[in-house]
Amino acid sequence: MAKKRGLKYDKIIDAAVKVIAQNGYHHSQVSKIAKEAGVADGTIYLYFKNKEDILISLFEEKMGQFVDYIKHKLEGVTSDEEKLAILINMHLAQLEKDHNLALVTQLELRQSNISIRFKVNEVLKGYLGLIDSIIEQGKENGSFDEAIDTRMMRQVIFGSIDEVVTNWVMKDHRYELAPLAEPLHAFLMKGMISPKRLEEKR
């Protein structure tokens, strides 16, 4: 029933990001999104099951691109430390490039009800899995401290980045975000680096 492809599908997704960023989730009526997309209200329902589905699809779509892009950037990189650096950098850079998207993912998407939150988390798993795999590989390669619990390390990494971005959004994007990647990476590395590798560095 709901077609997940087509020119209008993309138009509606983009309209939704814009309208929700501008008006907030609770004031983004379907009719407003339709108008912005240049389609009739009913057309929305040819492409999406309901209003919730717009939100989830929006996140799936953008998050998918996001993860794919980062994976692409990581290809060929051998240093585990650098991998983490690239991930943090891309995360901040991508959201800095699209203020509206940042607003939606950091604030509006979290206003939705819990059933959406769970679906969002499902989508997020792809990204969290990516972080996990970087950590695991680093531990195997002897780059990262084997003693550290992967889940905890991932929570610190994702929680830190997320908090940094949210603070930036709530401060109205008044400062540059990407430059915060380097010190954040440096800080995290001090906690993650394996004792042996630390020794070598001296």
Work out whether the CA dihedral 111, 109, 100, 15 comes out positive or negative: negative
Our CB check for its own copies shows the closer of 23 and 73 to be 23
Q: Check residue 127 for interaction with its own copies (CB under 8 A).
A: no
Helix (H) / strand (E) containing 193? none
Q: How many residues bind DNA (CB under 7 A)?
A: 20
User: For the window 63-102, what string marks contact with its own copies as x by the rule CB under 8 A?
Assistant: ----------------------------------------
CA atoms within a 13 Å half-sphere pointing along the CA-CB vector of 128: 16
Nearer to its own copies, 68 or 182 (CB): 182
Q: Is 76 left (phi over 0), alpha (psi -120 to 50) or beta?
A: left
Q: Which stretch binds its own copies (CB under 8 A): 34-42, 60-68, 81-89, 187-195?
A: 187-195
Beta bridge mates, 193: 144
The stretch among 38-46, 57-65, 83-91, 145-153 that binds its own copies (CB under 8 A) is 145-153
160 contributes a contact to its own copies by CB under 8 A: yes
40 contact choice in DNA, its own copies, none (CB below 5 to 8 Å, kind-dependent): DNA
Whole-angstrom Cα distance, residue 6 to residue 66?
A: 20
Number of neighbours of residue 102 by Cβ within 10 angstroms: 21
Q: With CB under 8 A, what is the number of residues at the site for its own copies?
A: 38
